[in-house]
Amino acid sequence: MKSNVYDCIIIGGGAAGMFCAAKLAKSLYFGRKILIIEAGPRVGRKLALTGSGRCNLSNSDIDISRYNTDDPDKLASCFERFGEADTCYFFENILGVVLEQKNSLIYPSTYKSSTVVDALRFYLSDNNVETELKERVTSITENSHIFEIKTESKKDFLAKNVVIATGGITYPATGSTGDAAKLLKKITDNSYFVPYRPALTSLSSDISGIKGLAGIRCRGDVKIVDGKGEVRAQSEGEILFTKEGGISGICVMDVSDAVVRLIDNGEEDVKAILNLTGKSAGEIFQMIYIRRQMYAHRSCADALSGMLLRNITDFAMKKMGLKCDKMTLRELNDSQIAELSNLLCAFPIPVTGYGDVDKAQVSSGGLKLLRLDDNMQVKDLPGLYLIGEAVNVNGICGGYNLQWAWTSAALAAEGISQNV
């Protein structure tokens, strides 16, 4: 074998690509040649943004119901083979990152994503993993089990194994521009590729008054309902009203994948039903009823200010055709209290669109999992692997997407280490 042939070339120095290189460096014999080719000026640019700069790198409650994929059984077996505990072990004992758990969310104890990026970077450098930066791969071809990789600047590389870790399409400024589809097209049957779409994103609405809520956060829940009134997704947590006149926050992002699919399939009547209180309508009725006995003389806005944000009271009462600052709570009769309670706990917001790739945290789509073997190797094309967001697996917020990056990367590394 010629010495300029790498044992493995990893295309993309993101979370999955770096972790795969680190696992390979750990398991391969000394003298092996591993190269990361990264389009951007440095590795781990998206990883540095994760968890609002704190990097929620996993979750102690990994469960496939939190993921969307074409092959849930294979996904479950992937996590059984390399799950959250294996990830934590590698981070703590091999990469030297101290971890901390907040509820089920796992972070570096520094709460800085740079800790994670640096730990991976230093480990790769210690173990002689080569890196080519500012090189965007444009094609992969295969001949007699050797892959030839070409870059935009016309550089050529040869490898026995290739890992496509090019990510999805979101936050394209970090270098992820959906290249897996283009690269695969030249080398294999591309009909197993599910087009990338934004997931974990905000939702927009043109309902009147919603812009007045910009910046308001409340705890509650959201249900996504289609034109037939069927609930298609639901989640609970923080709801944030955006300055663009829409809704975001973790629970909204968690249902956004369902909205993107409905809207892209031509569904016109998509609604988000918001519970803006975190309580039941019955409980809210009781609370307003008691306040009417205590603070009857106050305006509704003032009387309810201890239990509801003023803007929310205003938003809901406007929908009923009432003004919360002009009307006293005494004037609100029982049926109006019931109507207000129901509205606060099931406020219908027509959804007119969703945040684009610049705003979405993750992409859905990618090469179908069923097209890959248990070690993320493309079936019928030995030596070619896909990992991370390039594969048709996406999860909700809470460390699930990075866990998929680590899991798929570790399984590919295991497969490659048996091949070289």
Ligand X SMILES: Cc1cc2nc3c(=O)[nH]c(=O)nc-3n(C[C@H](O)[C@H](O)[C@H](O)COP(=O)(O)OP(=O)(O)OC[C@H]3O[C@@H](n4cnc5c(N)ncnc54)[C@H](O)[C@@H]3O)c2cc1C
Q: In the complex, which residues of this chain contact ligand X (CB under 6 A)?
A: 11-17, 37-40, 45-47, 49-51, 56, 136-137, 165-167, 170-171, 174-176, 179, 361-362, 388-390, 399-402, 405
CB of 400 to ligand X, least distance (A): 6
CB of 59 to ligand X, least distance (A): 8
CB of 383 to ligand X, least distance (A): 18
CB of 313 to ligand X, least distance (A): 33
Handedness of CA 193, 194, 197, 200 (dihedral sign): negative
CB of 305 to ligand X, least distance (A): 34
Nearer of residues 259 and 391 to ligand X, judged by Cβ: 391
Nearer of residues 260 and 304 to ligand X, judged by Cβ: 260
Nearer of residues 407 and 417 to ligand X, judged by Cβ: 407
Nearer of residues 284 and 369 to ligand X, judged by Cβ: 369
Nearer of residues 271 and 371 to ligand X, judged by Cβ: 371
CB of 138 to ligand X, least distance (A): 7
Nearer of residues 38 and 221 to ligand X, judged by Cβ: 38
CB of 43 to ligand X, least distance (A): 7
Nearer of residues 240 and 345 to ligand X, judged by Cβ: 240
User: How many CB atoms within 10 Å of residue 128?
Assistant: 12
Burial class (CB in 10 A: 0-12, 13-18, 19+), 141: exposed
Reading the block at residue 122, the tokens are 């230093």
Nearer of residues 7 and 84 to ligand X, judged by Cβ: 84
Nearer of residues 158 and 346 to ligand X, judged by Cβ: 158
CB of 294 to ligand X, least distance (A): 43
Which residues partner with 198 through β-bridges? 363
CB of 175 to ligand X, least distance (A): 2
What is the rounded distance in angstroms from the CA atom of residue 183 to the CA atom of residue 149?
Answer: 10
What is the rounded distance in angstroms from the CA atom of residue 164 to the CA atom of residue 11?
Answer: 5
